[in-house]
Amino acid sequence: MEEKGQENLETTKAFHKESFPEKPYWNPYLAGIGLGIVLLLAFVIMGRGLGASGAVSSVVATGVLKIAPEHAQNNEFYRNYLSAGNPLKDWLVFEVLGVLVGGFISGIFANRVKFKIEKGPKITNTKRLIFATIGGALMGIGAKLAGGCTSGQALTGGSLLNLGSWLFMLSVFAGGYLIAYLFRRFWL
């Protein structure tokens, strides 16, 4: 019975792949131009560039305010987010929500929405998820230390020709190549 179920699953996957093929990825140069236009529109419409870490900080500040209001009011970091009223009304929160919803809708139209774990053949799902969690946490910590996330530093700061933002991106690429070299055995 289990073999029959597996066979039906494979047949369904083959039918779906044949009937609804994945659309190719965008040309990276056209996507880059599109991203530049979105950044320009953010400056023109909102008066500031793109970023995501501020949205996470707004959500955290709201959570701390609900759980420990006295601590939130006495902490300078949280107070900065709470001084303008409800931090969840910050435009960065809506930007990040738009990125999530827009990415999902784009994936649906391209027939690329799948629930799977991307990994190499020499690493388990558990290890991959552990490494992804550690990497995400380090990126979050780095974003706060650097004064902005990669989108804020690279896109917004880079477009404003900030020296620190350019050094940040060069460091990200150098670090990425180094880590890729050290961890390639898990992917090859």
Task: Report the domain count for the chain.
Answer: 2
The reply to whether 126 and 86 lie within a common domain is: no
The reply to whether 96 and 128 lie within a common domain is: no
The pLDDT score that the predictor gives to residue 86 is 75
The reply to whether 103 and 172 lie within a common domain is: no
The reply to whether 33 and 107 lie within a common domain is: yes
The pLDDT score that the predictor gives to residue 169 is 86
The reply to whether 18 and 102 lie within a common domain is: yes
The pLDDT score that the predictor gives to residue 15 is 55
The reply to whether 160 and 110 lie within a common domain is: no
The reply to whether 105 and 127 lie within a common domain is: no
The reply to whether 19 and 89 lie within a common domain is: yes
The reply to whether 147 and 61 lie within a common domain is: no
**Domain ranges, residue 60:** 1-115
The reply to whether 103 and 76 lie within a common domain is: yes
At which of 82, 115, 148 does a domain end?
Answer: 115
The pLDDT score that the predictor gives to residue 122 is 82
- The answer to whether the beta carbons of residues 99 and 52 sit under 8 Å apart is yes
pLDDT (tens digit, 9 = 90+) per residue, 129-188? 999 999 889 888 888 787 778 778 888 888 889 898 899 889 888 998 998 888 777 776
pLDDT (tens digit, 9 = 90+) per residue, 29-56? 999 999 899 999 989 988 888 888 788 8
At which of 85, 115, 145 does a domain end?
Answer: 115
The reply to whether 102 and 183 lie within a common domain is: no
At which of 99, 115, 131 does a domain end?
Answer: 115
pLDDT (tens digit, 9 = 90+) per residue, 1-25? 566 656 655 665 555 566 667 788 8
Mean pLDDT of the chain: 83
How crowded is residue 92: how many other Cβ atoms within 10 Å of its Cβ? 21
pLDDT (tens digit, 9 = 90+) per residue, 77-122? 888 888 777 777 777 888 889 989 998 998 888 888 888 888 888 8
The pLDDT score that the predictor gives to residue 130 is 94
Convert 75-141 into a string of H (helix), E (strand) and C (coil): CHHHHHHHCCCCHHHCHHHHHHHHHHHHHHHHHHHCCCCCCCCCCCCCCCHHHHHHHHHHHHHHHHH
The reply to whether 67 and 107 lie within a common domain is: yes
**Distance, CA of 8 to CA of 3 (rounded, Å):** 9
